[in-house]
Structure 1
Amino acid sequence: MLAGNAGWGRSLGFSTLTLAIVLGMLLGNTVYPPLSPVCQAGVTFSKGTLLQAGIILYGFRLTFQQLLGVGAQGLLSAVFMLVSTFLLAFLLGRWLKLDRQSAVLIGAGSSICGAAAVLATEPVVKAKAEQVTVAVATVVIFGTISIFLYPAMNALHLWPFSGQAFGIYIGSSVHEVAQVVAAGKAISAPVADAAVTTKLLRVMLLAPFLLLLSAWWNRRSSTSTTGSQRQPITVPWFAFGFIGAALFNSLHLLPASAVSLLLNLDTLLLTMAMAALGLTTHLRTLRQAGVKPLILGSLLMVWLVVGGGLFQWLLALSSLSHRM
């Protein structure tokens, strides 16, 4: 957590979660294997219970009042980019013959909020630790590229919009919250404000996304089984906790110090979950994953940059026509 909060980490857009999984992988492939029989119960607890508790507390990062700042344009952008990016990830995953869990995880991370979305999606699709790690690595790589790409596009005036519209563009198409902050602040404070607010809208959509994904995943799983045996229904109850935390936070009943404490606890829980995933990830399995996840991630990034820009351009044209 200290490394993630350091100035160099924030400036590069590396979140605490990213650093935790890297450190976990380093230890998991060196000193952890002999200790795994003793530590396995705690690692499993971190990947399960602590992860879901962390996702619930993630809701305290949001208030509905914040989301009103970007209005309909921000909401339309967030919904459009989420839906289109995730559907594209699923279709491209089938085309690449990538396993379904990996495609869904990479799609969730690219379309919503990076590593946190990958972690939240993992229990719904029952993914393996290696699949989660590959998905996190993929969204981190391309999200990091975005930190430098978006300010460069703004400086070169590659899109016919600027100011708040460019902030909404960043918030609706960059992977991680930390990366959105870094890219927005590299341009200006107003752009960063619009970018972060739009990003929070995408994060808010995590809960309905998980509920819809769970229903769809269960239906596909039950139809793929033979005979009369039915798959048990998996409901991501922590998604309701996430919504409840955001609603409660919107009432401003807690003092700022208490909310700050909850956010620090949330970061700690998610960091422990990420580190646990790293500990159980083996490099040989990552090598077996090959280049397909990277191809999928790169194609999705092209869509986020180009599709997100075109959508903002169309919204700008629509707004201009209404004024005339």
Structure 2
Amino acid sequence: MGDAVELEVAGRTVRLSSPDKVFFPEHGYTKLDVARYYQAVAPGILRALRERPTTLQRYPDGVTGEWFYQKRAPKGMPDWIPTAHITFPSGRSADEMCPTEEAAVVWAAQYGTLVFHPWPVRRADVDHPDELRIDLDPQPGTDYADAARAAHELRAVLEEFGGLRGWPKTSGGRGIHVFVPIEPRWTFTQVRRAAIAVGRELERRMPDQVTIKWWKEERGERIFVDYNQTARDRTIASAYSVRPRPHAPVSAPLRWDEVGVARPRDFDITTMPARFAGLGDVHADMDDHAFSLEPLLELARRDEHDHDLGDLPYPPEYPKMPGEPSRVQPSRARKPKPPAS
């Protein structure tokens, strides 16, 4: 697997063992290729991860081997990488790593980390998200072009309700993620409620193209607004994360004028470093903003009052939540018995 190498990352030296281990067999990309990719985009991904509890999606033997999510900070983690204590919906808790230096990302790559899943909170306040994350997820029969059309309408919705601004990125697959920086004074439940309100408004405007239906059997060939990605302990791959697909794509931050023009396959571990060197982090100004959720929460209140639209189902591993409807998919729900004749 080759002798260990040392990489210099923003003043720290990170040791990389087995640098020649192949992580992406289709193109022959190695562990060293992944580490050097993260070295090249380190300022950008640190912006996305800074001070955030982060789950690591690890592939110690590359994308064709076994993989797992590491929520607890790995043993032997350097003392210069801080942690945050977070609580899961189950009531269990853990200390998760919170990158504050560029070298932390390359250090994680040494252990086979491809994808970084940051919480939408900072370690100083782990109960109040500072990002509203909207996941536009193509369903069978739809593709990236459909997600891009939905994203542009989403941009209009955000602007209309409180002058909110979103920063779009590719998911690394067919989807699009739009992140909105918000003031960290709302709970996970409130942020999820705002995401549902956004999804419903988008569905009203594009009923044949967008859905917020939780049950797959009801979605059809539409873009699903995955509102449950805002629930506690649900995370979305960070900007610049490598995705575990054969061609080593990455989740690429975009300008709005690139949405629908640039394609997901344009961005991988070989092309993103050049883009980053030329343009820098196109989401660099994201942390300079913090919007209010009140206009979206008012929209949610109107939905409840005027249209009797309440909460939607949580993911199956969550405890039953107050006001939540049944989690039984419609086709399996018990039908009322006909009245006796």
Larger relative contact order (C-alpha < 8 A, sep ≥ 6)?
A: 1
Q: What TM-score range do you get, normalising by the shorter chain?
A: under 0.3
The structure richer in strand per residue is 2
Q: Which has the larger radius of gyration?
A: 2
TM-score (norm 2): 0.27
The structure richer in helix per residue is 1
TM-score (norm 1): 0.27
